[in-house]
Amino acid sequence: MLIAITREVSPAIAHCELTHLQRQPIDYALACQQHRAYQTALAELGCEVHTLPAEAELPDSVFVEDTAIVLEEVAVITRPGAESRRAETASMARALQPYRLLRFIQAPATVDGGDVLRVGKRLYVGLSTRSNQAAIEQMQTWLEPYGYTVQGVPVTGCLHLKSAVTQLAADTLLINPQWVDATVFGDMKLIEVDPAEAYAANVVMAGGGLIYPANFPRTRLKLAALGLPLKIVDVSELQKAEGAVTCCSLIFDAE
What are the angstrom distances between the C-alpha of 136 and each of 6, 109, 115, 123, 180?
25, 8, 11, 9, 17
Alpha helix stretches (DSSP H) within the chain: 28-44, 89-96, 133-143, 161-164, 217-225, 236-239
The answer, yes or no, to whether residue 255 has pLDDT greater than 90, is no
Q: What's the length of the chain?
A: 255
Q: What average pLDDT score do residues 56-72 get?
A: 98
What is the β-pairing status of strands 172-175 and 189-192? Answer: parallel
**pLDDT tens figures, 19-46:** 999 999 999 999 999 999 999 999 999 9
Active site residue 247: yes
- Among the options 16, 47, 160, 248, which is catalytic? 160
For CA atoms 119, 162, 133, 180, the dihedral sign is: positive
What are the angstrom distances between the C-alpha of 25 and each of 18, 124, 132, 238?
13, 33, 31, 11
The answer, yes or no, to whether residue 59 has pLDDT greater than 90, is yes
141 band by pLDDT with thresholds 50, 70 and 90 = very high
Active site residue 47: no
Query: In the chain, what's the furthest Cα-to-Cα distance?
Result: 46
Q: What is the CA radius of gyration of the chain?
A: 17
**pLDDT tens figures, 145-199:** 999 999 999 999 999 999 999 999 999 999 999 999 999 999 999 999 999 999 9
Q: What is the pLDDT of residue 154?
A: 98
CATH superfamily of 2-253: L-arginine/glycine Amidinotransferase; Chain A (3.75.10.10)
The answer, yes or no, to whether residue 10 has pLDDT greater than 90, is yes
Q: What is the pLDDT of residue 215?
A: 96
- Among the options 16, 47, 158, 247, which is catalytic? 247
Distance (Å, rounded) from C-alpha 235 to C-alpha 237?
6
